[in-house]
């Protein structure tokens, strides 16, 4: 895909600043012609400071320019450093890769990577008409995440669940959820009972992506690419798995196709065909339930009234939770 310059500024970005960044990158390439560009992503949380632009050189090479103009947060320098570590490691793999790091601005406000023009896992999962096609996205995600979690030595540590209940308490204190107390309290009470049973359990701690949702995985032809490494840390492997599997709630499934975590059994099985690190599935299912409940409670009455997408999300999450909490962990 060639990304050109004749694009309407629908994202309301600072054209002068972006042009300055583009020129700096052009100079690093020792390129004479001006580079066209367009905004291909803008953060919903930080729309003014975090954006991604695409640009194509005269010889057809396409790059992604990731920008974060918040003062001195070091976020992009850290990510670029992680990419430089991971890229040679993944180069040894045939079917799993990370996007190639190209250039880091000395000012730390932007970096450049290769641009991979294929569908994200989210696009495949949401649009696929049949379970088998969506299942392949889960299989490839499991394979990619297995390789990432193998990057450094794993260790064992205790599972701490307090943060989930703290986050739920914070949600209930700051907004009125669309879900009624009579709906969510039984789920919360069941989670407390399950937490007691899991209180002394251990699980696998690994080098983790930290934000492994379906838009951060690109499904190329025979190669799966990971991107966005701004949240990497060492933590329980299950949290990356939960981040990816939770997108499954938008898939249609009958009650007998959904397991105790609220996820389609087929998709979870496909994920674990290629992901082979030891995982405590009681902890995994508890965490999936917790994440689905948190996401459900985050839909406030105000947001529910104003967003058709959130109305759909609320309904999908509610359906899955009603099936998941039919039994204890």
Which of 99, 114, 129 is a domain's end point? Answer: 114
Same domain, 36 and 128: no
Same domain, 93 and 171: no
Which of 70, 95, 114 is a domain's end point? Answer: 114
Terminal Cα-to-Cα distance of the chain (whole angstroms): 47
Q: What was the pLDDT predicted at 6?
A: 44
Domain with residue 163: its CATH number is 3.90.1200.10
Domain with residue 52: its CATH number is 3.30.200.20
Q: What was the pLDDT predicted at 316?
A: 98
- Per cent of the chain over pLDDT 70 is 95
Domain extent at residue 65? 15-114
In order of 96, 132, 306, the CA distances from 86 in angstroms are 11, 31, 42
Q: What was the pLDDT predicted at 13?
A: 66
Q: What was the pLDDT predicted at 31?
A: 75
Same domain, 214 and 317: yes
Contact criterion met (CB below 8 Å) for 130 and 124: no
Determine, yes or no, domain membership for 5.
no
**Which regions in the chain score pLDDT beneath 70?**
1-13, 32, 71
Q: What was the pLDDT predicted at 30?
A: 81
Query: What is the dihedral sign for C-alpha 63, 52, 84, 207?
Result: negative
**Does residue 55 sit in helix, strand or coil?**
strand
Determine, yes or no, domain membership for 187.
yes
Same domain, 132 and 76: no
């Amino acid at each position: 895909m060639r990304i050109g310059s004749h694009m309407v500024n629908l994202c309301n970005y600072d054209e002068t600043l972006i042009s300055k960044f583009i020129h700096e990158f052009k100079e690093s390439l020792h390129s004479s012609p001006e580079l066209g560009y367009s905004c291909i992503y803008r953060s919903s949380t930080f729309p003014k400071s975090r954006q991604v632009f695409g640009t194509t050189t005269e010889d057809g090479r396409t790059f992604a320019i990731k920008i974060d103009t918040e003062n001195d947060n070091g976020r992009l320098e850290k990510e670029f450093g992680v990419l430089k570590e991971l890229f040679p490691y993944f180069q040894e793999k045939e079917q799993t890769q990370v996007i190639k790091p190209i250039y880091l601005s000395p000012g730390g406000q932007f970096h450049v990577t290769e641009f991979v023009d294929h569908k994200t896992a989210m696009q495949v999962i949401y649009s696929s008409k049949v379970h088998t096609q969506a299942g392949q996205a889960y299989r490839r995600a499991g394979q990619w995440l297995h390789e990432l979690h193998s990057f450094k030595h794993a260790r064992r540590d205790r599972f701490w669940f307090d943060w989930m209940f703290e986050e739920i308490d914070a949600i209930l204190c700051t907004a009125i959820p669309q879900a009624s107390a009579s709906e969510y309290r039984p789920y919360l009470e069941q989670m407390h009972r399950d937490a007691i049973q899991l209180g002394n359990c251990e699980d696998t701690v690994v080098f983790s992506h930290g934000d492994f949702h379906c838009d951060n995985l690109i499904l190329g032809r025979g190669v799966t690419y990971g991107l966005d490494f701004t949240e990497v840390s060492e933590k329980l492997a299950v949290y990356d798995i939960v981040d990816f599997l939770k997108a499954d709630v938008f898939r249609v499934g009958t009650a007998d196709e959904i397991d105790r975590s609220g996820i389609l059994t087929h998709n979870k099985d496909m994920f674990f065909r290629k992901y082979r690190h030891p995982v405590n599935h009681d902890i995994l299912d508890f965490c999936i339930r917790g994440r689905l409940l948190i996401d459900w409670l985050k839909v406030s009455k105000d947001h529910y009234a104003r967003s058709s997408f959130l109305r759909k999300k609320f309904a999908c999450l509610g359906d899955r939770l009603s099936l998941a909490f039919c039994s204890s962990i």
